[in-house]
Every structure is written in structure tokens, then in C-alpha cells.
Structure 1
Amino acid sequence: MRKARPWVAILAVAVTWWLTLAPTQMGGPITLAVVSGTSMQPALEDGDLVVAVRQNDYQIGDTVIYDKLGGIVIHEIYAVVGDAAAPTDANPSPVFKTRGINNQHFDSWRVHASEIRGKLAFVLGGGGRPIIEFTSSPLLAGVTATALAAFVLLPRARPRINPRLRELLRHSATERRRIKQALAIEFTWLLVLTLATFLASALLLVRHMPLWPQLALSLTALLVSVLLLSAFWVYYASGRNLAEPQRSMAVLGPRLHRIDSSLKVDALPTQSADELSRIRDRTGLPVLHQIADRSLDERTGMITATHRFFVMTEKQTYVWSVKVLQLKEHHE
């Protein structure tokens, strides 16, 4: 059986998200809004976060979110007054009268069905206040951005190292690959940029910014940052554009610990450098690098060597091995 391509799953998730959770500004069925004012008390309080879902038709008594007066309104339908064509809709559609249940008077305007974003489906009491505070407070936004950067950049807790690994590290030579470290820094900042543009786009959606220009520019920036991040990972950080052993060293870097070529280490083989990298990430342990079994072909001037990479846990040692053929002058 052929394996499904990853892009098929990604496309399926994207379509499902668009059909069920995408905001109306992007053609989806969902609208998020923060209640402002007291016209819908006691059902809705100032600062509540509400979720509305687009319907095929609306009835008297429905609480709906609709576009009017250059913004959005959250009111209740109390009458259907007929069919007419809205300025933005060439086809006739139902026309409603609405009101705030806490208001003494009905709304003076009429609402076309095409102007309604959706019917109230869920209310999170007070859930909109953090959004209001965040968007209106530069200090809070700065603190959040700093915390996010610290979470990404600060090192994690040190793993437990067994005595044998500690002894090997003590007599090892550290291999620092400057290019890899620079790439890691660039990748980190690209990740921070992507998260920042995602947060900005989400806030613009919640605040119901028009699609053009603010929201469109923010979504474009998010798309560009995601594409840059993906391209960077595929062609640089993952080492897929490199030949062995540089590829394995890139995947398992940026810092390796070179151990003596004569040491014998019993280890469980892994299927790839990526598998060993996942073990390293899960355990937080350093990677040992050994170059062994060197042999020189005097006739061709080629050197054959086996590069072994180890991750040594308390219970098991794992290894990834790759045999390479290099010219003598290019061999380290």
C-alpha cells in the first residue's frame, strides 16, 4: 500500500479548518467578538467573548452579530419585515429589525440577512477583557513578547548524565560548527517572527479589522514567514542539502563531542540521523562523534572512514553510522 503524501494530510486539515473554524473575514463560518457596552445585559456583559456561527436562515429571538455603522453589532432579532436587496447583495434577502434587550427603544436601522455574520453559539464570560488589555497596553504586549522569546531561547534543564558518559565527555574534544550555530540563531529568530505574525493576525481577526489593508498585510506577513521558516528548515537547518557526513553533523549539531577512534562502544543502531536526533531531543543528552575504520587507497587517493554518532542514556546507547568516501586532502 502506498503511503499518503504529507501534503494530502495538510490539505485535508486546512480544508476542515476552513469549513468549521475559519473566521468570516476569510470566508469561513465563525465570528469572534468582544462585547462592548450594556445593551445586551443581563445576557451579555461588557468584556464577554462571544462566538457566532453563520446560519442558512435566522429566526425571531436569535442573537446575531452583524455589520452596521462601520463596525459590528450584537443584538437580538425581534421582527422580520420582508425581503429586499442590500447595497452589497444583488439578490433579495430577508430583512430584520433588531434591538438590544436592555435598550428601551428598538434599533432605527434594518438588517439584511447578507449583513449577518452569524448566530450566537457560545459565550465566555469576561473572556474578552484579556484581549482588550493586551491590545491597548504596550507594556503587556512587550512582556508577552519577552516571555515568548525567553521560552524559545533560554536553555532547558540539564539532563542526568551517567558516569561512563561523563568520563567520555571529560576526554572528548568539542566540535563547534560556527555555520551551524549561526543557522540555529537565524532559525530561532525566524520562529519568533512567525509566532509574532501569527499572534498579530489572530488579534486583528478578533478585533474585526477589515480584510484590506491591515488584515491582508498581516496574513501576507504570516504566510511569508511560514514559507521562509519551512524553506530554511528543509534546505539548511535539517542538512538535507548537504552530503554525508556533513548532513548527519548538521542534523545532530550544533555541538558534537569527538571521542577516540579506538574506543569500542556497544550500541543499538538507529535507522537515520533524524531518529538519533529525536532521541537526543527527548533526553537532552550530548552527541558523541567517532571517526573510525579509516583506510587509504593509495592508487586513487581516496579515504574511507566510518562516522559513528552516539547518544548514551542510562539504560541504552544508540548509534547512527555512516560510511563516507573522501579525497585525502578534504578529509579532516
Structure 2
Amino acid sequence: MPELVLDKRRRRRPRPWRVLVAVLAVLAALGVLALVLPEPFGGRLSGATVAGSSMAPTYEDGDVVVVWRADDYRPGAVVAYAVPAGQVGAGGTVVHRVIDETAAGYRTQGDHNLRPDPWVAPDGEIRGRVVWSVPNGRVVLPRVAGASALVAVAALVVLVVRRVRRRHRAAPSLPTRPD
């Protein structure tokens, strides 16, 4: 009966510079993730959909805006904020321009509106300053996100299959010793 001989190759230890590069890459990825982490997960990034014509021509109905929570907002900044409790539309999100800062919060007004909003947005209700927008994003983004998700899943499947095939091909056959 032939005896199996297992291949006892010495495992090479990873080089110190490779370990350092890997650690730095993980730290950099975590840093970027912390910056772009969505608001529900404790980050500063959030989004809102513009509804109505109060911000025309800057933003139109259906535009999606990306907002970044900051420590302070200056007059002229476009912000998204929750309508204060007890007001018409309470809890809804408004995208308007800051026109003045008061002790109670920020006075805002839509670019297309003739008068300022009837309330002052307290600092704690402001979700952030608009940093980017997707015109007509309410219609475009669901289609793109669906296609992107499909492409990402397909790419993941292809990568896994290729890796499994590569491992299967590269698996060394066990040598046998004749008796």
C-alpha cells in the first residue's frame, strides 16, 4: 500500500513593511468610512429630497441633495433641517437658505419665496449644509442604485468563482512514495 507524504513547506513570515502597509490601509479605510458614514450610523453625511418650488431655480422639485453636518452655518448656506415641533409640517425636512443667525437658531428662506420661514430652525434640528445635488434624483437614483447593486452582486459572484477555481487548480497533488 502506498504511503502518503505530506508536503511540509515552511511558511514564510510576512515582511514587516507589508504588515505596516496593511495596518495603514485598514486605518485609512476606517478614517474614510468615519467621514462618509451616514447620519443614522453616527456620521455627518445625510440626504434629502427637495419637494416643491421654494428653492427654484437653485434646486427643483425632485432633486436629491447630500448634506454634511457642520458645527456652524453662515448666512448664504443652503441647509436641510427638520421643521420644529408644533409647526405646520413638523418633523418634515426643509431645504432652504440661511439668511440670519439668531440666539434661538437660524432663520431660513427659500430662494423662490418672498418671505422668510415663519420659524427659526434650532441648531439641533439642522441636518447639514448642502454639499452636492443630483438633479431629478428622485427618479434617477432608484434606477441607478438598482443597476449598481446588480452589477456589484454580479462582480462579487465572479470574483468568488474565480478565486475558488484558482485554488482548485493550484492545489498541489499529494505525492506518493512507492513501497
**TM-score category (smaller protein):** 0.5 to 0.7
> Which structure 2 residue ranges, 5 or more long, are not aligned?
1-14, 84-89
Quote how far apart the aligned CAs of 1:64 are: 0.5
Partner of residue 74 from structure 1, selected from 85, 95, 111: 95
Q: Deviations over 1:138-169 (max 9, x none)?
A: xxx6xx599559946998xxxxxxxxxxxxxx
Structure 1 residues without counterparts, runs of 5 or longer: 84-94, 136-140, 156-186, 189-236, 239-248, 254-272, 275-288, 298-332
TM-score using structure 2 length: 0.66
User: 1:184 is matched with which residue?
Assistant: none
Q: Percent identity?
A: 28
Find the structure with the greater CA-based Rg: 1
CA apart distance, 1:49: 2.5
The runs of 4+ residues in structure 1 deviating greater than 3 Å are 5-8, 132-135, 144-155, 291-294
Q: Which residue among 96, 109, 131 is the counterpart of 1:99?
A: 109
The alignment's C-alpha RMSD in Å is 3.8
Q: What is the rounded CA distance, in whole Å, between the counterparts of 1:125 and 1:31 in structure 2?
A: 17
Deviation at residue 111 of structure 1 after TM alignment: 0.7
Is residue 296 of structure 1 aligned with residue 178 of structure 2? Answer: yes
Q: 1:250 to 1:132 in 2, by over 3 A?
A: closer
Matches within 5 A, 1:143-182: 144=147, 148=151, 151=154
Q: Go from structure 1 to structure 2 and tell me whether the alpha carbon gap of 1:292 and 1:106 turns closer, same or farther (over 3 Å shift).
A: closer
1:248-298 deviations in Å (ceiling 9; x for gaps): x98226xxxxxxxxxxxxxxxxxxx38xxxxxxxxxxxxxx8x6964234x
Q: How has the CA–CA distance of structure 1 residues 58 and 252 changed in structure 2, closer, same or farther, with 3 Å as cutoff?
A: same
Distance 2:157 2:26 in 1: 31
Count of residue correspondences:
155
**TM-score normalized with structure 1 length:** 0.39
Greater share of residues in helix: 1
Query: Which of structures 1 and 2 has the larger relative contact order (alpha carbons within 8 angstroms, sep 6+)?
Result: 2
User: Post-superposition shift, 1:101?
Assistant: 1.7
Once the two structures are TM-superposed, the CA of residue 134 in structure 1 deviates from its matched residue by 7.8
Output the CA distance in 1 between the equivalents of 2:149 and 2:106.
47
Deviations 1:118-149 (A, max 9, x none): 212222322342235689xxxxx6xx599559
Distance apart, 1:10 and its partner CA: 2.2
Alignment partner of 1:102: what SS? coil
Alignment of 1:182-331 (within 5 A): 251-252=167-168, 273=170, 294-297=176-179
- How many angstroms apart in 1 are the aligned matches of 2:153 and 2:24? 35
| Alignment of 1:18 onto 2:18 | no
